[in-house]
Structure 1
Amino acid sequence: MLKRSLPTQFYLLLAFLLLFSFGLHIWILSYKDLPIFDNLIIRSYLVNALLAATIFFLLYQYRKRLKSQMGFLFMGGSFLKFIFFFLLFYPTYKSDGEMSGLEFASFFVPYLVCLFLETFFTSKMLKNLDESTK
């Protein structure tokens, strides 16, 4: 069986899970007769995917040099995602004075998928790094 590198595994699983969750998200909206492509849903999935891929790429590139600061870098990546949320999404979501559950879900479903994957793969990366230094 072909053994893929950790970044390749991450990117493939990221693409698969985001496409799957996007399809499920759209299906649920359609099933409930709700607006399908409102609330910046496509932009949300794309921005979260690009940020997750970039953050993981940077963590992987600096894993050896900044091993002891990896937790801070990971948290910095999450902070960066919130900055993007407040710059790109929040003004539109709050334009009517409140943020609806649909608007919340449009951003935070892909955010949570990405966060789970980043956490899992960063942990795996650090474990591999520890094992290689023993």
Structure 2
Amino acid sequence: MLLKDYRPILHLFILAVVSYIIHKGVLFVCDIQDQKFHYTLEWLYFVFFAFATVLFMILLKFKTTHFDNIGMLFMGGTFIQMFFFYLILRPILTDKFENMAVEKINFFITFILFLLFETLLTIRLLNEKP
């Protein structure tokens, strides 16, 4: 029963691991060293996964009591995440090094991937009967 309740978090973990492996493979093939970036790929995926997990824990907690407000709660949580991710992105935006374009693209790819994962899993959560 416990695994069934937290299945979206397990799916999020699997999606994050698969996308991390693909992302790391693309960086390896393109010979891009992410150790020179402000934030390594591992750190970015950890932070994005941690924020998404907290959001889903909140959504799953309120699923039984306030099912009608799950969509609004998701929107509010996503807005708060965007604020914190902007604070994380600020050092990348202000630096003028030559690798900054690659690091910005790296950050936004990770951001869009996790936003997509969260949206798809929330849609699946909303399609379940309360």
Give the TM-score, by structure 1 length.
Answer: 0.77
Provide the alpha-carbon RMSD of the alignment. 2.6
| 2:110 equivalent to 1:93 | no
Mapping 1:1-134, distance limit 5 Å? 4-7=3-6, 9-37=7-35, 38-40=37-39, 41-88=41-88, 90-97=89-96, 100-129=100-129, 132=130
**Cα distance, 1:81 vs structure 2:** 1.5
**Cα distance, 1:5 vs structure 2:** 0.7
Helix, strand or coil for the counterpart of 2:64? coil
**Cα distance, 1:102 vs structure 2:** 2.1
Q: Tell me: CA distance 1:80–1:114, structure 2 relative to 1, closer, same or farther (3 Å).
A: same
Residues 11-46 of structure 1 show CA distances to partners (whole Å, capped at 9, x for unaligned) of 222222212211221221121122233241222111
Mapped partners of 1:54, 1:127: distance in 2: 21
Answer whether contact 2:93 2:104 (CA < 8 A) is retained. Answer: no
Could you tell me which runs of 5 or more consecutive residues in structure 2 were left unpaired when the two chains were aligned. Answer: none
Aligned residue pairs, count: 127
Aligned residue identity for 1:106: N
Aligned residue identity for 1:95: T
Q: Which has the higher helix share?
A: 2
Answer whether contact 1:39 1:102 (CA < 8 A) is retained. Answer: no
Answer whether contact 2:15 2:117 (CA < 8 A) is retained. Answer: no
Runs of 4 or more consecutive aligned structure 1 residues displaced over 6 Å after TM superposition: none
Could you tell me which runs of 5 or more consecutive residues in structure 1 were left unpaired when the two chains were aligned. Answer: none
Higher relative contact order (CA 8 A, sep 6+): 1
Mapped partners of 1:103, 1:125: distance in 2: 33
Of all paired residues, the percent bearing the same amino acid is: 25
Q: Tell me: CA distance 1:119–1:15, structure 2 relative to 1, closer, same or farther (3 Å).
A: same
Give the TM-score, by structure 2 length.
Answer: 0.79
**Cα distance, 1:10 vs structure 2:** 1.9
